[in-house]
Structure formats: C-alpha cells, structure tokens
Chains A and B, each alone.
Chain A
C-alpha cells in the first residue's frame, strides 16, 4: 500500500492505491477545508504533490490554479488519487484554521441542583450478625448519608460486579456516585476512598462548525476548564446539508464517531488543563441543532431534509454517555436538549433558556445568526419561531475578501466621511488579510453613511476617489492598500459583495418582521433583542440597525447573550430542575415555516434595501442618513 507523507510535519499514513489525498488526510487526522464536500467545486483543499505518482485531471480542475501553481504540483486533494508513495505539502490555508470561538459566558446565576451526588461512606463490614449483602449495605449507607432511599436506587450490573472487590480492597471506605435519570436514581460508580470532591459535569455546545465544552464542578458550581475546537465532521462537508448527504451515503457511523471524537477532544483538553480525571465527569449535557444531536445519538437524519421536514425525536433524550462514544465515566448520564423542529433545535432552546425570555412578561426577540439563522419572538405565554438560510456572506463566505474571525480579519472599521480613509482593527492586531462578519457590517454601514453605495448597494462610480474604482467585473471600494495588508494585494469590497451582504441581512430582517406581523407586534413593543452566537457578540449594535439587519429599537434594548447554547447547557447541568422547563419551552413554540408564509417574500424584497423599503420603520437611521447626505452634498 502506498504511503502518503504530509508536509510540513511529516505525518504519514498508508492508503489503498487509488484513494484520494483527502481520504488520506482524514485518515492521518488532518482536517482540511472541504467546503463543497469533496466534489471538486470549491477549490479549498489545494495541496502540492512534491514527489510520487498520482492522478489528477488538470484539464478539468486546472481552473483553480495558475500555470506556476500547476508546475509546482498543485491539485485538489479531493480529486487526486494516490498511485504510489507520495509526499504532499498542505498549505496553511487548506487546513481548517483555529477560529475565534465564542466561549464567554454571561454570568447568569442559577440554583445549584445538579443531578449527581457523591457519597463518601464508611461502611461496617459484614459479619455473621450483620449478613446483609454488599449492595444493600452500600445503598443503606447512601440512604443514611442523606441520599435516596435504598429501594429507590437502581444499580446496573456493571457496577454491581465491581462492588465486592472495591468494598474490601478499600477497607469499606468508598465513594458512591448516584445520578438522577428519567427512570429514577441510578448508582453509576463506586470508588475506593473518599473521592467525593471530584464531582464534575460537562456542558457541551455541539455546533455544525465548532464544539465548545465547559467542565463544571458540581459541588460548588465553579468552572474547572473550558475548551473548544472544530467539529471534525467538517472534513465530510462544511454545511449541514452536505453532512446529511454524507450520512445518506452510508456515512452516518463516521459522522457519529467524528462528533463524539470532537467532543472527547474538547473534554480531554479541558479536563487536562483543570487536572480533572475524565472518569469523574458524571453528566454530559449537550445542546446542538437537531441534525447534530441526531447524528451524535446515531439517529439517521436522512429524512429531515425532505418534505415535510420531520425529525425523528423532539423530546429530550438521555442515555449512558458511553453509548454515544463519549469518553467519560462509562455509565455517566448524557442529556440531549429537546428540539422544536428540524430547524429549531436544542441550541435554540438553550438560547431561550439563557436569555430568560421564557420567564418574562416582556416581549423579546432572539436572533441566532450563522449561515442558517433562527429567530424567536415571544414571552412567557407565547412564542413564535422560524429559521432560514442567510447565506454565508455575514460569516465572510462568498465575499471576495471575506474570512472567518481568524487572526488578521478586520473586525471593526470606520470611514472618515470627508477623506473616505478607513480606520480598522484586526483580530490579534496583525496586518489585515480580509474582513469578518462584524467588519463587513461596519463597512456596509459606513459605505452607506459616506454615500459611496446607494440603498440597494450599488457603488456610485461617479465619485472621483482613488478608493472607488471600476473593478474587473463590478465596481469596488478599496479597504486596504496592498502595502498595508498581510496578503500582498489590495483588500476590496465589491458591489457583488455588498449585494450578497444585503441579501443575507434581508433574510434575517424579513424573518423578524414576519414573526412580528404574525404576532401583530410593532418594534416599540419589543423590550429586548438578544443576539446569540459568536457573531452577535462582536458586531456593532448601531451598525446592525443602520443596515437593517434587525428592527430599529433603542440600542440599550439589545443584548448579546454570547454562546447561548453553551450557556443553556451549563444552566441545565448545574440545575436539573431546568430540564422539565426545557420541554415546556419547546412545547410553547409555534414554528412558522417561512417558505409557506406568503408575506415572507414581500418582507424579503422590502428588506433588500438599506435599511428597509419602509423608511418609517427606521426613523433614527433615516434622520442620520439624511444628515450624512447633506454633508456629502447629495440632495
């Protein structure tokens, strides 16, 4: 079998002749960018073969490369088959980059009521006078220590098998761990000596792109460790649809194990940092979108992307963590958030929980923005929710110099309205390489303020300024000259980029407005807008309103709740009483299918304008823009 050596790093792996380099890389544990899911369409998995024989169709895929690059052995990993030993250079941009993943957690306090108890027991050994069996002795000990009644605790066979030896080897000084699961109390572990302070749980946000893990001390609630990494399923396709397609082609098992692996890696990292033994993690609470949680539980998501879009399960799920391949205590509990529909998953329920909107009389609007977005409107009595695709523009995708929130991304920008000179800040303060979502929103608002673009996003090429130029296909605005960038070329935003951004923001605003219309609510009645997700934490609230990403409300009503999914998972981990409330929230929500809602398209075209075609919905923005036009000498 040929050996593939990956450079830099010299990671080696053996593959069958004819395997693709992408398969080899996956086997070697290298996570490559595969936006198109390995169809040879996106050109993101570029590699350079340095030596050895391989098969790659330069005719068909040559369009991704310059002649120089082809000479240097450039090819697409997904379309290149290995014929003999090869040495392959993977450039940095082809490897999935570490991203600015949101792990800040708002300090919501909750009562500490975990579903795990550890009892340090000193039992009297059996004797002829006291011949009760080991298990009964142990359970009585628990009862005496203030735990549940002996008869109420179920002990699984695996644990019972360990009892006699542990009791005797420890000299009858043991620690028993009991968890509360839907079936009742369950004895899940017995250890020698007193390990009662080592009582931990893990809260997990299982996202399509990233996985975030918190390890909490369940005795005092403190945060022991935090870790995050990419969801390793990315190597099977970037977006959720391509994952389901992958699952359909027999890849469910692989996706399931990648999900578990991603969680395990994050748990291990967090546990190692905190000096926590993973065996002492007794409950894992996972919030994720419906498809991710289905996959983690090994449930086929294939039918969820077809009409009528029905998930297999909606209620919350529990299981032994080991059954999902999670490397914590074998019998530890695994709790999966409930969902509302295919499109409104446990992550959104977690958002709602974290925001507190389901407990308030005031009306809140919750927006979770990613490539897909979810919007929830309501209060403690009623809730409407919808979901849709916003396109990748707001995350930097499909924008010429768009990028994820990695080092070098412009995350904040403003223009001098006289000279049109930008002032910007990049992530990690390195030279700019591109613009991430928050930077793009700022830029859009600033271009509008400076009257460089009109309200439909067209660049006014009549303005005589060196930064405004015709561009190769469409007009563009130069954000940074090549001398100041970290990529050796001018960073520009094109008219097409602007339009893609407007279309993305329009879907979100139209979704908000559709829910508001459905409920008969005006913007004045919205007491809170909660932004969930990485995106919401970094964007400028003012500019989000200027471009009409969200309805105009006083900015003080807007609160980013950070990563609501991990927040909600933490709350449930610390306070088991929230679990029941989750189902209540899920039941309360009326899901609105935007595609079936006739007014949605109308709202959408109305929203494809900065900030909106009905200017009266954005009174203060209008006033501001009027002043800007006056200053720019535009009537």
Chain B
C-alpha cells in the first residue's frame, strides 16, 4: 500500500528549505505520495527515510522496452491491480504472428498491413505494435529468412518465438540489434538463452510449468545476467492464464515475490479463442500479446478496448464531447449545451429523460470541469461553443437556431450569441428545473 502524505511527511526533515522546489515539506510529501516527485529530490533525507521511501515509490513491475525507433514501446512499471486505484501505465503491445513456414510474400503482406493499420479515435492514433515470428520449421535458416522478410518491410518491434537456442540465434543474427523480445527461456536451456539476451542486449521471455518454477527461473536468469525479463503465462486454458496473471500481479505489487515483478507475455494461439485471450490479456495484465491474424472487426474492438482500459481513470471523469440524443429528437428539438464533466452530463440527461422532451445535448470539452468552474476558469468560452456546433454538425440536425445554455454560463450568453449567431436561452442553474424550463420557454 502506498504511503499517505502525512506518513511521508513524518519521515522528512521538516526544514521547509524549498530546495526541492516545493514551498513546504508537506507539499513535497503530497507530491511524493502521488508520484509527482522522487525521494531523491529532497537533499536532506536521512538514510533510513530514503530506504523506506525508495522502497515504497519504486514501481514493483520492472520496465522493459521492446524494439527500437519510432514504433518501439515500453511495458511494465505498473503499480496497481485495479485501474481505479490509479491507472495502468503501459498498454500491451499486440504482436501479429507470422511463421517461418509462410512464404516471404505472405509474411510481407501481413507485416505491411500491421505497419500501416491505423485507427484514429478521440484524436489518438491506435496502432498494432509489432510482429511475432514463429519458428515452426525448426530450421535456423528458415527462421532467419522469415526474420529477414519481416525486416525488409518494416522497422517494427519483434518477438522471436524459437525455443531452440540455435534457431533463436539465427534470428538474432538478423535483427538482434533492434531489441526484439527473445522467446523463450526454459529451465532446460536458460543458460544459452540468457547468454543470447546478454550478447544482444535483448529482453527475454521465460516460461515454466508453474508459478513457483517461473519464480525460480526468473532468479536463475537474473543471476545469469538477463535482467529484462518477461513472464510467459500462456496456457491452453484461459482460466489458467487469467489466474496466473492475477497471481503474478498481486505478488509483484505487494512485493511478496519480487522474482515475479516483470511484465507478462500471452500467446493467444493455444487457447484456440484469440478474442477471449486478447480480452484476458488487455484486462488482466498482459503486456505482450501474440496473436495470429484476426478479423478486422476483432482488431478494431481490441484496439478500442485497450484504449478504454488504459485511459487514466483519475483524470476528471469526462464524457466524450459530441451531440447526444435524449429520446428521438427531430429538427425542432431543443439543443442544450453543457460541459463534459460526467456528473453534469448524467444529471442533465436524467432530468431531460424524465421531462419526456426529445432533445439534443451538446457536450463541449471543458476538460471535465463543471459548469461553474469552467466558466470561472475560462474553459467554457464562446469560441469553444462555436467550434462544437460546427464540429458536431448541429446546424444540420435542427432547423432552428436556438441554444439553451446552463444557468451558470449566463455571463457568456451575449458572447455566444455574437460568436455563433444562434439565439441563446439561459436555462436553469439546476438541471432539476429543466423540465419546467422547457415547458415554459420551448415553443
């Protein structure tokens, strides 16, 4: 459990020296508790305090980086079991699999598709992350050729799925400098695999039949110099995978078993249910998800689910700006403006539904601030309203030009009228009065 500000404060020198850049030791403690500053920022921490604070603020799941260049990504550094406790930091990479039994053209078509696939949502680019190359032939040369085929098309992060060290090395000889994830060390060949990981400076996935064996293997590999580990929890049973993943996260964040403090790898193939396995991986702590090519629809749903789950829940809860319908509004329906603070949205929506008046809600982006604060903070402005009307195509939805604004936004009414050319009706301050207002003011 993370330390509270006051617990941290008790460990600080209480000099209020300001050398850390904070006005007081208490504010420093608050920021330290929320991870905004580091213990080292305090120049006067004694040894014991440093130890306690260092231990309680270092992420319990190690950071691992896969790939180089623009598309490389980091995983790990997670600190919670539930996203509502803080947030999940690094979304899992989805690695589309190719096989060394495929011909080069097939491989390259898949790689090019992964490279170019792009889904834009809420202004963010959602992408597939990389390529997993399976050694199915068992031949080093075939594997190297497959890796070469991949490399020829894109600089994407890679996973080399080859448990035979000789085959693995053949792949690494092609792409070892681009930090692919080596998959996987087992109890039998971990020395060779670790040596490869050390030689090429690559992260290493490890695999064992039980969590106990995995923890042991993790210790052996770190002792052998491979520090950037990834734990393969793949099982034909998704029940097993889910249970192991939850156990690993619990052991890691409680620091009960530091040997399990690494990101998790899941291959969706053995389950035979790629959708369910991907869902499991996104929700329950997967960091590297290998999958054979899936349908475009599944891919879309996966990317959106991943985006949802890895959104920071502690930012003020926001509703996506846009036009929302209550009932089945027609072109004569009222348009009500409000902010994208979820509570405001839900309150207004509830009362609108209760009013029985079909209507449009125009939700503008005030970064999750309420009406009163966004007006005070200047976040709700006439230009924002103007742009939102345009962006969400409101003029095409209705044949009138009247906008109902919240009572607390009354000071902006004139400016909104000037900026948009719409007639502004100042609504009630309290959404509870909306029914009465509409009855009286809406023709």
**B window 293-347: CB within 8 A of A:** 313-317, 343
A500 contacts chain B at the CB level, 8 A cutoff: yes
Chain A 230-247: CB-based contact to B (< 8 A → 1; otherwise 0): 000000000001000100
Say which one of B127-135, B168-176, B178-186, B429-437 lies at the interface with A: B429-437
Alpha-carbon distance between A520 and B429 when the two chains are bound, in angstroms: 35
Q: Is A398 an interface residue (CB 8 A)?
A: yes
Q: Which residues of A contact B377 (CB under 8 A)?
A: 305-307
Q: Are B429 and A398 in contact (CB under 8 A)?
A: yes
A317 and B87 alpha carbons, distance in the complex (Å): 44
Q: State how many angstroms separate the Cβ of B222 from the closest Cβ of chain A.
A: 35
Residues from chain A with Cβ under 8 Å of B14 in the complex: 381
Whether B433 lies near A496 (C-beta < 8 A) is yes
A588 to B201 CA separation, bound complex (whole angstroms): 49
Q: How far is the CA of A164 from the CA of B23 in the complex (A)?
A: 51
Q: Given that A474-B432, A590-B30 are contacting pairs, would A598 and B314 also be in contact in the complex, using a CB cutoff of 8 Å? A: yes
Partner of A518, one of B5, B315, B343, B373: B5
Binding site secondary structure of chain A: mixed
| A500-B430, A595-B369 given; A601·B26 CB < 8 A | no
Bound form: Cα–Cα A590–B27 in Å: 6
- Judging by beta carbons under 8 Å apart, are A382 and B429 in contact? no
Given the interface pairs A518-B5, A587-B24, the reply to whether A595 lies near B410 with Cβ below 8 Å is no
Q: Determine the distance from Cα of A156 to Cα of B378 in the docked complex, in whole angstroms.
A: 46
CA distance A588 to B24 in the complex (A): 7
User: Does any Cβ of B come within 8 Å of A499's Cβ?
Assistant: yes
| CB pair A601 B430 closer than 8 Å | no
Contact with A along B1-40 (1 / 0, CB 8 A): 0001111010000101000000110110010000000000
B27 contact set on A, CB distance < 8 A:
590
* Range, interface on chain B: 20 to 34
Q: Which residues of B contact A590 (CB under 8 A)?
A: 5, 24, 26-27, 30
Q: Say yes or no: A39-B411 contact (C-beta < 8 A), given A306-B378, A382-B6, A519-B5.
A: yes
Picked from B7, B314, B410, B430, the residue with its CB within 8 Å of the CB of A398 is: B430
Say yes or no: is A41 at the interface (Cβ < 8 Å to chain B).
Answer: yes
Given A241-B376, A245-B411, A382-B26, also A520-B7 (CB < 8 A): yes
Which of the residues A382, A389, A595 comes within 8 Å of B316, measured between beta carbons?
A: A595
Instruction: For A244, give the chain B residue with the smallest CB separation.
Output: B376
* Chain A CB within 8 A of B372 CB: yes
CA distance A351 to B378 in the complex (A): 31
Q: Indicate the member of B315, B317, B376, B377 with the most A CB atoms within 10 Å.
A: B376
Q: Which residues of A contact B314 (CB under 8 A)?
A: 598
- Cβ contact of A473, chosen from B6, B23, B411, B435, cutoff 8 A: B435
Q: Which residues of B contact A95 (CB under 8 A)?
A: none
**Contacting pair B6 A307 (CB below 8 A):** no
Chain B CB within 8 A of A36 CB: yes
How many Å from the CB of A536 to the closest CB on chain B? 24
Q: Which residues of chain A from 369 to 404 have a CB within 8 Å of any chain B CB?
A: 381-384, 389, 398
| Cβ of B426 under 8 Å from chain A | yes
A518 to B3, CA, bound (A): 10
What is the distance, in angstroms, from B166's C-beta to the closest C-beta of chain A? 52
- Known contacts: A241-B376, A605-B343. The answer to whether A520 contacts B369 by CB under 8 A is no
Given known A-B contacts A307-B377, A398-B429, A41 and B410 have beta carbons under 8 A apart? yes
The CA-CA distance from A306 to B380 in the complex, in Å, is 12
| Nearest neighbor of A305 in chain B, beta-carbon distance | B376
Most chain B beta-carbon neighbours within 10 Å: one of A307, A381, A382, A496: A382
- Chain A residue nearest to B26 (CB atoms) is A590
CB distance from B102 to the nearest CB of A (A): 48
Q: Assess the B435–A595 pair: CB atoms within 8 A.
A: no
Mark contacts of A572-614 with chain B using CB atoms, 8 A cut-off: 1 yes-contact digit, 0 otherwise.
0000000000000001101010010010010001000000000
B343 touches A601 (CB 8 A): yes
Provide the residues of chain B in CB contact with A307, threshold 8 Å.
377-378
Least CB separation from B433: chain A residue:
A496
CB-defined contacts of A241 to chain B, threshold 8 Å: 376
Residues of B within 8 A of A306 (CB): 377-378
CA distance A39 to B407 in the complex (A): 12
- Chain B: minimal CB distance from A92 (Å): 26
* B439 (CB) vs chain A CBs: closest residue: A473
The reply to whether A520 and B436 contact each other, CB–CB distance below 8 Å, is no
Out of B4, B24, B343, B432, which one reaches A520, CB within 8 Å? B4
Kindly state the separation between the CA atoms of A130 and B313 in the bound complex, as whole angstroms: 83
Instruction: Give, as a whole number of angstroms, the nearest-CB distance from A285 to chain B.
Output: 25
Residue of A nearest to B372 (CB): A389
Residues of A within 8 A of B376 (CB): 241, 305
Enumerate chain A residues within 8 angstroms of B433, measured Cβ to Cβ: 473, 496
Q: Which residues of A contact B313 (CB under 8 A)?
A: 598
Q: Can you list 23 residue pairs at the A/B interface with Cβ under 8 Å?
A: A36-B410, A39-B410, A39-B411, A41-B410, A305-B377, A306-B377, A306-B378, A307-B377, A381-B14, A389-B373, A473-B433, A473-B435, A473-B436, A496-B432, A519-B4, A519-B6, A520-B4, A521-B6, A590-B5, A598-B313, A598-B314, A598-B315, A605-B343
Nearest first, the 3 closest Cβ-Cβ pairs linking A and B are: A598-B314, A520-B4, A590-B26
User: Other CB < 8 Å A-B pairs besides A519-B4, A595-B316, 19 of them?
Assistant: A384-B26, A398-B429, A473-B433, A474-B432, A496-B430, A496-B432, A496-B433, A499-B430, A520-B5, A520-B7, A587-B24, A588-B26, A595-B369, A595-B373, A598-B313, A598-B315, A598-B316, A601-B317, A601-B343
